[in-house]
Structure formats: C-alpha cells, structure tokens
Amino acid sequence: MSLNFGPHLLAIPGPSVMPDRVLRAMHRPSPNIYEGELIELTNSIFPDLRTVAKTKHDVAIYISNGHGVWEAVIKNTLAPGDKVLILSTGLFAKGWAEIAETHAINVQLLEFGMGADADPAMVEQVLREDKNNEIKAVLTVQTDTSSSVINDIPSLRKAIDNAGHDAMFMVDCIASLGCDRYEMDEWGVDVTVAACQKGLMTPAGLGFVYFNEKAAEARKRVTPGYYWDWLPRTKGEMYYQNFAGTAPTHHLYGLREALTMLVVEEGIEQAWKRHKTIAKAIWAAVDAWGEGGEIHHNIKQPNKRSTAVSTIVTGVEDAVKLRKWTEFEAGMTLGIGLGFGEPGSEDYNRHFRIGHMGHQNVPMTMGVLGTMEAGFKALNIAHGEGALSAAAKVFA
C-alpha cells in the first residue's frame, strides 16, 4: 500500500526546498526592464550577496548554473596554456577541471579521494616545487556535494602563503554558501563562485562570481569575450550590462525574497548556527542507526563534514532500496550517490545523500529522519534503535 499522498518532501542536496514566500514573489507579471522597481530591487541584491559571502568585493550575476560560473572564472582570469592546481575531494572539482581543459588550461589535479578533505601540507609541497610560479591559480570546493566533505579554506590559504606562492585562490561555494561558515575576505580568497539553488533557496538559474583586486588584475591579460566578461556586469553604466542583456526578472524577485529571509530577517551568522544544529541532529541519528547495522557516515570525522549535505553509506543495495521506498511509497526524495561507481554498480547502490540546506527547520528534519527509519523497518534493513530520540536531544 502506498502512502505517497500529500505534499512531497524534498531531501536532496539541491535544488533545495523553495520557500512559499520565494515562489509567491516570483508569481507576478513581467516588469518594466528599463526603469523603476526592477532596477531598484536589483541594486538592493548586491549588498546582501556580499554579506552572505562576507566580502566587500565585486560580485557578478550570471544567468547560469554552477557550470556556467566555473567557465566565467576561467574566461576572466586564465589564458590558454596557463597552469592551475585543482584540489579534488569528491566529484565536483573534477568538473571544474574538465571545463578548464576545454579552454586549453594545463590542469594539475591533486586527488584526495571521496572520503577526505584536501591536505594543506601536500598543497604547500606542490607549490614549493613550482619554482617558476607556473601555477596561476589553486582551485577547490568548500563543500563537495558528492562526498559531503568540507575543506578547511583558511588552512589552504595558509599553505599557499607558507609556500610563498603568488597563485590566485579560487573557491567553489555552490553547495555551501549560506549554510557553512564562509568568510571570503578574512580567509584570503581571491575568487568565489556560487549559485542560487542551494543555500540561497531560489530556483536554479543564477550563478555568482565574487572577485577581488588581484583577480580583477588577472582579467587584464585575457580576453573573456562578451557574455562571460565580469567587468561590464559590475562596472557598466547601463542596467542591461549587469546581465549582458535582458535581466532574469523573476529569478531576481525570488532571490530578493530569499535574501530578505536569510540576511535581513535571520542573519547569516544565525543561519550558519541553524545549519550546524540541524546537521548535528542528522549525524546523531545516523550514528544511532549504525549501532545495529552497516549504516555510517562517508566522512568519519564530524569536523570535516559539511553542514549542508550528508553522504551516507549502507549495506549492499540498501541505499538504492531505501531511496525507492521513500520516494514512491512515502513521498520523500533522498539524493542519489554521486562519484561512487557507475549507476547500478555495487558501490553506487551503497550510497545516498541527505540534503539539509537552505529552507530547513526541526519538523522538516525530524520528518526526513522518521521517514528514513520507517523505510529501514519496511525493508528489513538492519539498524540501531533510538535514532529519533538522539536527533531530538540535539534540538532540546
């Protein structure tokens, strides 16, 4: 018997749950794109985007997904033949590397696997060996959505400085912005990329590139082309230059409402604390389940886990069985495993992900955990007891 009626609960690591307020803000006729309200609204978005990333520097908005802003960064800072060092702690840094290679960028990939964060000592060693400063940039993610690891961005910055290297430091915060603590200026990041569909709670379609003076200087030696050029997007005299053409009108209304919720009403510091608390509740439940079965965290050390997403490992076939049961029998979608073997392989079928980013609270969290526990029981998947009580204690 299926109980899949009523509102569907989304628990994937992006696109995240969209607040009703955001959807209502977007549900309106097209505005005047030449003057008036839309221009004022757009101008109000930039300061709040800076607040979320803790920066005073420029931010360019692109009508794109995360892959688009990966390419925008490459087009604005690197030339064919340049060399970059990419720190891979899951699947997504490799995606950035693939895009770089299509632009004839020489990629040196430093691989840390699917279960560990980037080692600053190894990064420092590689940079010290680069005697001629051939490496123009170090690229990494803060949170890798596939492995759920979080990289120590300040320590990686220190590694670059300790090596005495002049490489730009570029960080992908697509999965982490608005969820995990991030301080672009304090941590010495030169370029930050992000997108709207995760911690910023807006339908997929907008990407953001933050850049400081060092990155702006790098742009002077390249030819970014018309669409990707971040200079007119941040320094243009006409409104349309912010978007290289027609503005993404309804995304802007949605983003404005999301930023009001996140920055104006809650505050970014409180949002970080909320995400940390919700993550700890989920971690406590997984630990309890693991006492009586094969369920465990992909990232073993809590201080190396993202507060936005959790990658969970199960017995053979159990992850895929659970995902199917929760989606089709119960009405809740969990995230697939990414980066762990090909779809259908044994390793792939042992992994799933819980998204706990953006518009999240206690009832939603306990609903996700309760549905998962019901699935374990319905499918006779071995698990320990007391998971919901362990999660509830975190909120007490």
State the helix-helix crossing angle for 387-395 and 268-290, rounded to 10 degrees.
160
Neighbours of 50 (CB within 10 A): 18
The pLDDT value given to residue 82:
98
Length of the chain: 396
- Could you tell me the end-to-end alpha-carbon distance of the chain, in angstroms, rounded to an integer? 35
The pLDDT value given to residue 344:
87
The pLDDT value given to residue 69:
98
Output the pTM of the full model.
Answer: 0.95
Taking Cα atoms as reference points, which of 277, 280, 290, 279 lies closest to residue 373?
A: 290
DSSP per-residue letters across 309-359:
EEEEE-STTHHHHHHHHIIIIISEEEEEP-SSSSTTSTTGGGEEEEE--SS
DSSP 3: -
With 0-12 CB in 10 A as exposed, 13-18 as middle and 19+ as buried, what is 162?
A: middle
CA 197 to each of CA 75, 252, 254, 258, 389: distance values in angstroms, whole numbers, following the listed order: 23, 13, 11, 11, 31
**pLDDT tens track of the chain, all 396 residues?**
788 888 899 999 999 999 999 999 999 999 999 999 999 999 999 999 999 999 999 999 999 999 999 999 999 999 999 999 999 999 999 999 999 999 999 999 999 999 999 999 999 999 999 999 999 999 999 999 999 999 999 999 999 999 999 999 999 999 999 999 999 999 999 999 999 999 999 999 999 999 999 999 999 999 999 999 999 999 999 999 999 999 999 999 999 999 999 999 999 999 999 999 999 999 999 999 999 999 999 999 999 999 999 999 999 999 999 999 999 999 999 999 999 989 889 999 999 999 999 999 999 999 999 999 999 999 999 999 999 999 999 999
What is the C-alpha separation between 179 and 271, in angstroms, rounded?
A: 7
Which one-letter amino acid corresponds to residue 21? R
330-379 pLDDT tens trace: 999 999 999 998 988 999 999 999 999 999 999 999 999 999 999 999 99
Pairing of strands 296-297, 206-211: unpaired
What is the C-alpha separation between 25 and 255, in angstroms, rounded?
A: 9
DSSP per-residue letters across 144-181:
-TTT-BB--HHHHHHHHHHTT---EEEEE-TTTTTTS-
